[in-house]
Structure 1
Amino acid sequence: MIQMGSILNVADNTGAKTVRCIKVLGGSHKMSAGIGDKIVVSIQESAVSDKVKSGEVFHAVIVRTRKEKRRKDAVVIRFFENAAVLLNKQGELVGTRIFGIIPRELRAKNYLKIISLAREVL
């Protein structure tokens, strides 16, 4: 589960390395987010890039969490890191490539572009 203040890795090629969660979107009382939820993030660390700079604010979709998630078929998935993919204000991907494993729960939340760019869907 991701909440305000959580540090996440970035799973795309925007040049950002780590981001910090500023706000969990989805209602005024929503305190934590899981796979497929949208959050607002601030770039904490970035490589030299034209796309993003440290301190900029973006929307992001959570693609991996350390907290386990149980599927309806009783399979439990858990990742080694918390990771997100950056979006612009219109909800489009900022990067052009996705790194790492992506869970198929994103398909139910209509993030088909992320799934199509990923090399492996779990």
Structure 2
Amino acid sequence: MISVGTFCEVCDNSGVKIAQCIKIPGHLNRAIVGQMIVVAIQKGRLKKEKDSAIKGKGVYQAIIVQTKKAKSRLDGSHLKWDNNALVLLQKGLPIGSRILKGVGHELRKKRYTRFISLAPRIC
């Protein structure tokens, strides 16, 4: 679960390495895999080209794909990862063209098919 102020790793090839959660839309205090959050870019190799999607530090939306906290599923299994990871969005689509880590099965249930097709594996 991710709360406001949590630092997360960005697992796409947009050039950003670390982002901090600054807002969770809705009335929830915590966000889980498959939820959209608002993040501020903290660290990364930012592109300075005219046609680049990321220009300097800013505020973006992101989808959570991995969390450290164990998530129990309906079949009784528990799944957790080594770190918190997310994918940056712009106008509802991922900024990067590749996702470098596996994504949770909850994205398939929420019909994020674009993320499923870019990911190397589904956990």
* TM-score, normalised relative to structure 1: 0.93
Moved over 3 A (4+): none
Q: What secondary structure is seen at the aligned counterpart in 2 of 1:62?
A: strand
Q: What secondary structure is seen at the aligned counterpart in 1 of 2:43?
A: strand
Hey, what does 2:38 align to over in structure 1?
A: 40
Of 58-67 and 102-111, more deviation after overlay is shown by 102-111
Hey, what does 2:89 align to over in structure 1?
A: 87
Hey, what does 2:73 align to over in structure 1?
A: 71
- The alignment status of 1:20 with 2:20, answered yes or no, reads yes
- 5+ long unaligned stretches in structure 1: none
Q: What secondary structure is seen at the aligned counterpart in 1 of 2:54?
A: coil
Structure 1 vs Structure 2: percent identity of aligned residues?
40
Of 105-114 and 46-55, more deviation after overlay is shown by 46-55
Cα separation, 1, equivalents of 2:93 and 2:82: 26
- 5+ long unaligned stretches in structure 2: none
Residue 56 of structure 1 aligns with an amino acid whose one-letter code is G
What is the RMSD computed on CA atoms of the aligned residues?
A: 1.1
Deviation digits for residues 4-58 of structure 1 (CA, Å, limit 9, x no counterpart): 1100000100000000001001x2x211100000000010001142332442110
- The alignment status of 1:115 with 2:116, answered yes or no, reads yes
Deviation digits for residues 46-102 of structure 1 (CA, Å, limit 9, x no counterpart): 1142332442110000000000001111110000000000001x2111110001111
